[in-house]
Amino acid sequence: MQLRIDRASATPLFQQIAGNLREQIASGLMPEGHRLPPERTLARELGVNRSTVLAAYAELKADGLVDAHVGRGTVVLPQRFAPRGTTSSPAQPFSWRQISRRSAASEPLPIIRDLLELASHQDVIPLSVGMPAPELLPLDAVREIGERMLAERGATALLHSPTEGIAPLRESVAALLASRGIECDPAEVLVTTGSQQGLDLVRRVLIDPGDVVVVEQPTFFGALEILRGAEARLVPVPVDADGMRVDVLEELLGRIRPKLIYTLPTFQNPSGASLSLERRKKLLALAYRYQVPIVEDDLYYDLRYHGAPLPTLRSLDRAGYVLYLSSISKVLVPGMRVGFLVAPRPFLRSLALAKQAVDLHSTTFGQWFLDTWLREGRWAPHVETVRQAYSAKRRIMLEALAKCRPAGLTWTEPAGGFYLWCRYPTRLAPSKVLARAARERVSFLPGEACYVDEPVENHLRLNFTFPSARQIRQGVERLGKALQAAAVEPDSRRAAGSETRPII
């Protein structure tokens, strides 16, 4: 394959590479099904960084010219133009994938629904759900504070409250955020029904159909569903051990203008990676240069098990570009669904109007409870208790994996958060592994739920906070059996016309 690049040209190298490939696809030199060289191979041949080739391939994919397939690499899709030098071309199979708003791989909600249902069974070990340990819920404190609130406030603790949240809680949240280095006025705090609602409100106010939103890959599957609901065009940026690849982001921003960048910079869900300080500063610099706001989803800030904390993006932001999301769900009482969003006052007003149309306000009782909890200084001691418990569970899961050594499985060792991110051999079909896990009565989150497009590697996410120590050990053992069984099970093709059955 001959490609021409001019290093003296003002046109970025990735655009030159994409243009060359586009011409060869249009001319018919690269017909449908033609496999492009692996990124590393082409980068080596051209003497460029792999990220440059990744950006070129991403541009071709965005134009509907190519797609990536597990085991096949990047291949040319059916094209709607005729090759040069021909007056007609044979009819090509219709590409439903290109016109579908969502591919089958991008619809994790049925999988998640089934996983949650499966995890509710008493005989299933739940390594899939991202919930705190039920034994750490402060039941006595909830009872004591609740009774006191009702005695002191009466019916006001159960009636409607302002859409933005009760004023005392907004003050308490601002004080809590000050301990994270975030300076904000209580008037810049919007109380939400969990942090997920905060992102939904942002998309309702900011995102129009077709707008580009940059997301990490992999990322929180719930965020993908929210943004897809806005009919946004999602552009993924890969994540490595130091978080989002801001070098790839920089090349993307040279050719696209996203409406928003969504990131989980601290103990990312699902990878557990934390964005390095250098990359945090670079991300903000890029946001300023290209004038793109950032949504920082910071659910796991307090759940660090070793190492020094990194500053939040919001605390580093000096120009008002970062919208900050967080919640009590991962630390305190998830069922109360109390979260908060920090935004500049003019924008917060728009968010409040959007929230008013959705649910009027978040739970009044939960708001008064959290305000009391924060004002009485209960947050820090409870966080310390939770940290110690989850650090121990994390260690138990790592030890169980090291002892069991499931076939071909590798895993991360995050410094905090809820999850281990595991990779297993690409020769194992994810549906086969899920089916085997269901037979072994253990659940996990399949990695493809966390991707914008089809992943080139097989991953799964394991939660260590919700199950007991005994369940962790048994669950890892069962997972090992499932992987081993999937590895020796012969491949089979589904008969034409057969039913599509639930994965679990």
CA distance 470 to 488: 28
φ/ψ of residue 423, rounded to 5: -120, 140
**What does the alpha-carbon distance between residue 116 and residue 15 come to, in Å, rounded to a whole number?**
44
Domains and CATH numbers, the chain: 13-86 (1.10.10.10), 104-129+381-488 (3.90.1150.10), 158-377 (3.40.640.10)
Distance CA 77, CA 62 (A): 12
- Quick one: pLDDT at residue 495? 38
Within the chain, what is the greatest distance between any pair of CA atoms?
Answer: 85
Question: Taking a C-beta distance cutoff of 8 angstroms, is the pair 341, 198 a contact?
Answer: yes
Give the pLDDT of residue 326: 96
CB atoms near residue 72 (< 10 Å) = 11
- For the chain, state the CA radius of gyration: 24
Looking at residue 48, what is its pLDDT? 87
pLDDT, averaged in runs of 10, over the chain (504 residues): 75 83 78 87 86 84 77 76 39 33 41 59 87 94 93 90 96 96 96 94 93 96 93 94 96 92 98 97 96 96 95 95 94 92 92 93 94 96 97 98 90 96 93 92 94 91 96 96 88 43 37
Name residues whose C-beta falls within 8 Å of residue 137's C-beta, 6 or more positions apart in sequence.
333
Q: Which residues contact 230 (CB under 8 A, 6 or more apart)?
A: 203, 204, 207, 208, 209, 211
pLDDT digit string, tens, across residues 90-126 = 433 333 233 233 333 344 445 556 555 665 667 899 9
Distance, CA of 304 to CA of 67 (rounded, Å): 38
Instruction: Using alpha carbons, select from 299, 467, 300 the residue that is nearest to residue 394.
Output: 467
pLDDT of residue 91: 39
Token pair for residue 222? Answer: 């719930």
DSSP state of 462: E
Long-range contact pairs involving 236-241 (C-beta distance under 8 Å, separation at least 24) = 236/451, 236/452, 236/453, 238/54, 239/268, 239/271, 239/273, 240/273, 241/273, 241/412
CA 298/CA 493 separation, integer angstroms: 43
